[in-house]
């Protein structure tokens, strides 16, 4: 939290070592025998007392009052409280509590996280072997006013090697013309955190300012939700760093290309997709589930200012895929545009700017009305050929994106509808006692669940953690594991009663079942535990301890059989914890250092080494897991050995620097993707040619042949040249843009000069903004056919302007000009041409006018 003046009672602290505190954490309260995790140790000189906290009889406070001992330390979080000052106090360096080791600890063999030291940005001079083994990234962040939610999130991301190594080793790829250039601020912050001459802490002012410009919800000094911050930050990084996928890219990546993000959309119009979960008790009443809709846990979450992060595809088991894609898309698009948010959708809005607000308000769906609306407007859509969907990727999507396969089955006709959704994190429920009982019973169990706990799953200190968890179960009942939360998320949902399924084949409401599985696992799996509930009148926090593994989280039980993912085991990278209530509190992060494998607590500007048992006993809120693969480690070792052979070769090969970063940090890097720096003609695009050295790395022939034979992809590149065809296309595109914008300005001036235009035509402002971005050079892709379907409505067999529609007025000449280039429609007029008047009546009017003037 914010810095405080030094506590005057720190002189009373005696000799305390890390080993002493860890040993005391294994004990119990000396007054009542209560076990952890809420134990406090007295820090008074020569006082060995350990007492329980407020969860029991609060003997630690009673001891302090009776003995006049001022300071006590929590044996789980190592945070210090002064009873006289009545506040938390901080040791300036905390040297006695947790000494940072002078030498790196020996590395366990075969651990993929520790086997590949993270590279640091280019620095002058060569480094000694001692410098290479010295841990980096142990830099704190100053709290700049209730910013612990931001600091904890940034430290957790900083200790994700694939992302951090990209910003350190591929700095030339961090380019954007989008404001506020948050990727540049993040790159600067990462460079400071991982510099070998790191300061004790940094002040993330630039990044904080940038995120507040993009998301007003973070302005001011109120506490915010760290999960909201993570989503908004990574979404903005994706928007600034995204690149369109060419046909070569998508064909090279197989079916994965179909799951890439949709076209560039306005942040105000689109939604951030996250896989969310909700138990049956969370569901709203009424409203039938529409055909092909997601299970309740997969409903979209709307976050203010967050563009869509992931596309969806729907397929019918008994329908032709192409027909479903062409005919269903407009209907689904209309449902998304017009219908209310789906049942059990989570609307995230900060509640009074207090700590965590992943809101869980429930809005009922009206899918049948959405389908009726789509049916009435189908003829409007028939005027338009659907614009070809653009697909984008970035380092964010490469690292964090996975996909979920959701299935809805009618129990009458057995028709199955499937939907594929891209996710960036999994929001898991924390099951209660009743839910656990159902989950562990064979009747309700849908997937294999890890109900038994073995000491081997706790890491190197397995028996210690196993004993502590056994004590916790004895005191508090059944222990909730992360596997339980995953099983609750992926469990089948029965659709019956008020929540019946609207079957398209049966044409009526039917009982059904929904279930989902993971189709594609991400390189880094982000898991969010839903600890905060916000009801109409109050909010509360679920403080149940959730046991999670440090190593060996197996996702295979939750994997779809169609999944291409080969590596299904994950190891923990970092965990964000929240201490406090639903209204206020403090965030910290526990992260494993990639160089020495030790765990550290990041508490604003303080960085402290901790034992892994401290991490396991933490109250986890957000967890980051990384794919674990010994095979990928062996592949890297082979490549290093080949490179060190220095065999003479007649050819040198260029390989994508970004893909090489994937090879160094990913468990599954995928095929070589040299198309990221090549155009479709095999040359260098003119806009990338001047910084091509930042995009490629030269490798010897034997290394290239090994990588190509092992991973495929390509193509092989021996010579770099600027593509002349692309240069000609760019010049032609510039001429086209100038001609279109000049013609529009000319026609619009003439239209504005007319006092009483006979015809005024309407054009969708959404399409016009896309066209404007194209002619002004902000977007390289033309906007596609004119789409007036969103501003028109069918009445009496004619398309009329919809009330409250977002449209602009243009002349008939301008409409015909744009229509001749782009096509589309439909034509919507707000003033038709007036029919010629009868000559006799005109003569009578002129006569009346003349007589009036004479009078």
The answer to whether 339 touches 365, Cβ cutoff 8 Å, is: yes
Instruction: For residue 227, give the 3-state DSSP assignment.
Output: helix
Radius of gyration of the chain (CA): 31
Q: 714, 132, 623: which is closest to 425 by C-alpha?
A: 623
CATH topology of domain 739-852: DUSP-like (3.30.2230)
Instruction: Provide the H-helix boundaries in 477-578.
Output: 482-490
Distance of CA 372 to the CA centre of its chain: 33
Residue 148 is a catalytic residue: yes
383 vs 371: CA distance, rounded Å: 19
- Burial class of residue 221 in the structure, from the number of CB atoms within 10 Å of its CB (0-12 exposed, 13-18 middle, 19+ buried): exposed
Q: 131, 52, 159: which is closest to 592 by C-alpha?
A: 159
Which stretches of the chain score pLDDT less than 50?
A: 1-4, 92-126, 252-260, 262-274, 277-311, 314, 316-388, 442-461, 474-476, 841-842, 844-855
Q: 641, 763, 779, 758: which is closest to 700 by C-alpha?
A: 641
Task: Extract the tokens encoding 503.
Answer: 């079957």
Task: Extract the tokens encoding 509.
Answer: 């409401």
The answer to whether 161 touches 648, Cβ cutoff 8 Å, is: no
Distance of CA 516 to the CA centre of its chain: 19
Would you say the C-alpha torsion 335, 336, 338, 339 has a positive or negative sign? positive
Query: Which of these is catalytic: 586, 591, 675, 762?
Result: 586
Task: Extract the tokens encoding 306.
Answer: 């967050």
The answer to whether 511 touches 339, Cβ cutoff 8 Å, is: no
166 vs 204: CA distance, rounded Å: 19
210 vs 224: CA distance, rounded Å: 16
Task: Extract the tokens encoding 568.
Answer: 């299904």
Class of domain 10-89: alpha beta
The DSSP string of 399-420 is HH-EEEEEEEEETTT--EEEEE
Task: Extract the tokens encoding 456.
Answer: 């081997």
Report the DSSP beta bridge partners of residue 418: 315, 407
Task: Extract the tokens encoding 544.
Answer: 């149940």
Domain ranges for the chain:
10-89, 631-722, 739-852
Predicted local distance difference test score (pLDDT) of residue 178 = 83
Q: 177, 467, 429: which is closest to 279 by C-alpha?
A: 429
Backbone dihedral region for residue 179 (phi beyond 0: left; psi -120 to 50: alpha; all else: beta): beta
The answer to whether 495 touches 344, Cβ cutoff 8 Å, is: no
469 vs 482: CA distance, rounded Å: 14
Predicted local distance difference test score (pLDDT) of residue 434 = 77
Helix axis angle for 657-665 and 630-645, nearest 10°, is 130
φ and ψ of 695, to 5 deg:
-100, -20
Instruction: For residue 529, give the 3-state DSSP assignment.
Output: strand
What Cα–Cα distance (Å) separates residue 164 from each residue in 158, 171, 177, 265, 665?
Answer: 6, 10, 22, 27, 10
The answer to whether 231 touches 348, Cβ cutoff 8 Å, is: no
Please, how many CA atoms are within 13 Å of residue 651, restricted to the half-sphere of its CB? 11
Q: List all residues 6 or more positions away from 266 whose beta carbon is below 8 Å from its beta carbon.
A: 307, 766, 769
Residue 586 is a catalytic residue: yes
393 vs 375: CA distance, rounded Å: 34
The DSSP string of 426-437 is EEE----HHHHH
* 10-89 and 631-722, same CATH topology: no
13 vs 28: CA distance, rounded Å: 22
The DSSP string of 340-395 is PPPTT--B---STT-S-----------HHHHHHHHHHTHHHHTTSPPPPPP-EE-H
Instruction: Provide the H-helix boundaries in 26-92.
Output: 59-67
Task: Extract the tokens encoding 748.
Answer: 């619009």
CA torsion angle for 840, 841, 842, 843 (degrees, to 10)?
Answer: 50
358 vs 345: CA distance, rounded Å: 12
Angle at CA of residue 776, ends 774 and 779, nearest 5°: 35
What CATH code is assigned to 631-722? 3.30.2230.10
Model pTM? 0.66
Predicted local distance difference test score (pLDDT) of residue 87 = 76
- Burial class of residue 71 in the structure, from the number of CB atoms within 10 Å of its CB (0-12 exposed, 13-18 middle, 19+ buried): buried
């Amino acid at each position: 939290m914010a810095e405080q003046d030094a506590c005057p009672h720190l002189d009373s602290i005696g000799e305390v070592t890390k080993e002493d505190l860890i040993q005391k954490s294994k004990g119990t309260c000396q007054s009542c025998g209560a076990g952890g995790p809420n134990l406090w140790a007295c820090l008074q000189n020569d006082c060995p007392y350990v007492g329980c906290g407020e969860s029991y009889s609060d003997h630690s406070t009673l001891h302090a009052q009776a003995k006049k001992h001022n300071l006590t330390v929590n044996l789980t979080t190592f945070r210090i409280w002064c009873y006289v000052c009545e506040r938390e106090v901080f040791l300036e360096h905390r040297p006695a509590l947790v000494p940072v080791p002078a030498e790196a600890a020996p590395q366990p063999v075969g651990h993929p996280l520790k086997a590949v030291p993270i590279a640091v940005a280019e620095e002058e001079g060569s480094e000694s072997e001692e410098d290479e083994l010295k841990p980096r990234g142990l830099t704190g962040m100053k709290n700049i006013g209730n910013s612990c939610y931001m600091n904890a999130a940034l430290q957790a991301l900083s200790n994700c090697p694939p992302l951090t190594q990209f910003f350190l080793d591929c700095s030339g790829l961090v380019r954007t013309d989008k404001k506020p250039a948050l990727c540049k601020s993040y790159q600067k912050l990462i460079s400071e955190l991982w510099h070998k001459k790191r300061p004790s802490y940094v002040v993330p002012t630039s990044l904080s300012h940038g995120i507040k410009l993009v998301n007003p919800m973070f302005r001011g000094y109120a506490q915010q939700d760290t999960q909201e911050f993570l989503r908004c930050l990574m979404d903005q990084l994706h928007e600034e760093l995204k690149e369109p996928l060419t046909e070569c890219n998508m064909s090279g990546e197989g079916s994965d290309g179909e799951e890439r993000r949709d076209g560039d959309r306005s942040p105000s119009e689109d939604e951030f997709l996250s896989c969310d979960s909700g138990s049956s008790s969370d569901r709203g009443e009424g409203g039938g589930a529409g055909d092909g809709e997601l299970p309740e846990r997969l409903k979209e979450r709307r976050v203010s200012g967050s563009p869509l992060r992931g596309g969806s595809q729907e397929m019918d088991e008994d329908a032709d895929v192409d027909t479903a894609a062409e005919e269903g898309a407009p209907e689904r698009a209309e449902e998304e545009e017009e219908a209310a948010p789906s049942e059990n959708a989570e609307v995230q809005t900060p509640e009074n700017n207090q700590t965590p607000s992943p809101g869980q308000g429930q809005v009922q769906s009206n899918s049948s009305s959405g389908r009726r609306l789509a049916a009435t407007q189908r003829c409007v859509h028939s005027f338009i050929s659907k614009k070809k969907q653009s697909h984008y990727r970035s380092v964010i999507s490469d690292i964090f994106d996975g996909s979920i396969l959701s299935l809805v089955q009618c129990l009458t006709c057995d028709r199955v509808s499937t939907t594929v959704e891209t996710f960036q994190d999994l929001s898991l429920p924390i099951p209660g006692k009743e839910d656990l009982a159902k989950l562990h019973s064979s009747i309700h169990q849908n997937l294999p669940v890890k109900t038994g706990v073995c000491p081997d799953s706790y890491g190197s200190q397995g028996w210690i953690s196993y004993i502590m968890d056994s004590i916790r179960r004895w005191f508090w009942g059944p222990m909730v594991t992360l596997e339980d939360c995953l099983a609750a998320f992926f469990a089948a949902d029965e659709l019956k009663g008020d929540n019946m399924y609207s079957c398209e084949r049966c044409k009526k409401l039917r009982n059904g079942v929904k279930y989902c599985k993971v189709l594609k696992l991400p390189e880094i799996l982000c898991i969010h535990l839903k600890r905060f509930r916000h009801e109409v009148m109050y909010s509360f926090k679920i403080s149940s301890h959730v046991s999670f593994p440090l190593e060996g989280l197996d996702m295979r039980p939750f994997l779809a059989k169609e999944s291409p993912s080969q590596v299904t085991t994950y190891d923990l990278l970092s965990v964000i914890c929240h201490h406090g209530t639903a209204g206020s509190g403090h965030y910290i992060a526990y992260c494993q250092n990639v160089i020495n494998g030790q765990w550290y607590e990041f508490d604003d500007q303080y960085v402290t080494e901790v034992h892994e048992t401290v991490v396991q006993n933490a109250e986890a809120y957000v967890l980051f897991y990384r794919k674990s693969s010994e095979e990928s480690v062996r592949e890297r070792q082979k490549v290093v050995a080949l490179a060190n052979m220095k065999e003479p070769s007649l050819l040198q090969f260029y390989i994508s620097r970004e893909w090489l970063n994937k090879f160094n940090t990913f468990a599954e890097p995928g095929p070589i993707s040299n198309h990221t720096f090549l155009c479709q003609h095999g040359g260098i695009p003119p806009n990338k040619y001047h910084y091509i050295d930042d995009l490629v790395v030269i490798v010897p022939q034997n290394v290239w042949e090994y990588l190509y034979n092992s991973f495929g992809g390509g193509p092989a590149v021996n010579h770099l040249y600027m593509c002349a065809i692309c240069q000609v296309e760019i010049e032609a595109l510039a001429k086209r843009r100038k001609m279109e914008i000049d013609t529009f300005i000319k026609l619009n001036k003439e239209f504005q000069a007319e006092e009483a235009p006979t015809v005024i035509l309407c054009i969708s402002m959404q399409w016009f903004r896309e066209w404007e971005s194209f002619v002004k050079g902000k977007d390289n892709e033309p906007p596609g056919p004119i789409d007036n379907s969103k501003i028109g409505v069918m009445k009496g067999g004619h398309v009329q302007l919809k009330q409250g529609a977002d449209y602009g007025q243009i002349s008939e000449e301008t409409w015909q000009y744009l229509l001749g280039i782009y096509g589309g429609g439909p034509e919507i007029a707000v003033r038709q041409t007036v029919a010629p008047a009868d000559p006799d009546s005109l003569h009578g009017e002129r006569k009346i006018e003349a007589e009036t003037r004479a009078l």
